Structure 1
């Protein structure tokens, strides 16, 4: 999920997903141009399981997703 979105930003959406018992099991990966350490910390505090900055390196994204999904 991107952080910069209209109406509901990615931090807010991540918090909603991770705090709801029906969706808390879904791993959220934030993919964004916001590359400040404070953004990453805030995203993880909202419930993101990973934080990847753009431009995306395909191998990094694939490795991140493989690490979050069951084998």
Structure 2
């Protein structure tokens, strides 16, 4: 069973994503800030990180860059999951090392499909 780290500062979004993923058989780890997300990823080595962008402190783009540039976490795929739906945001997210980009509200089938794709890449 794949372990997924959800990094999101919104308790509501966290609950929605966690419910969707647990229903699909994933084990979930959570972090409420970018900093906590980076630390948790280093400590727990999840199979995948689902990263929000708009967070206080270290934002999701910065946290994604830290994870993908650090040798200890570089092999963990990151999927950005955010309300930011501009093409420039998508391009910037992918430049930070993200494997995929989803906009909220997420459709469960899309989320699971992108996770499967990233895990099997």
After TM superposition, the score normalised by the length of structure 2 is: 0.57
- 1:35 maps to 2:54: no
Runs (4+) of structure 1 exceeding 6 A deviation are none
Q: Which has the larger radius of gyration?
A: 2
Q: How does 1:2-21 map to 2 (within 5 A)?
A: 2-21=52-71
Q: Residue 69 of structure 1 corresponds to which residue in structure 2?
A: 119
- Cα deviation for residue 68 of structure 1 reads 1.0
RMSD across aligned C-alpha pairs, in angstroms? Answer: 1.1
Structure 2, unaligned runs of 5 or more: 1-50
Larger RCO of the pair (alpha carbons < 8 Å, separation 6+): 1
After TM superposition, the score normalised by the length of structure 1 is: 0.96
Name whichever structure is richer in helix by fraction: 2
- Cα deviation for residue 70 of structure 1 reads 3.4
Name whichever structure is richer in strand by fraction: 2
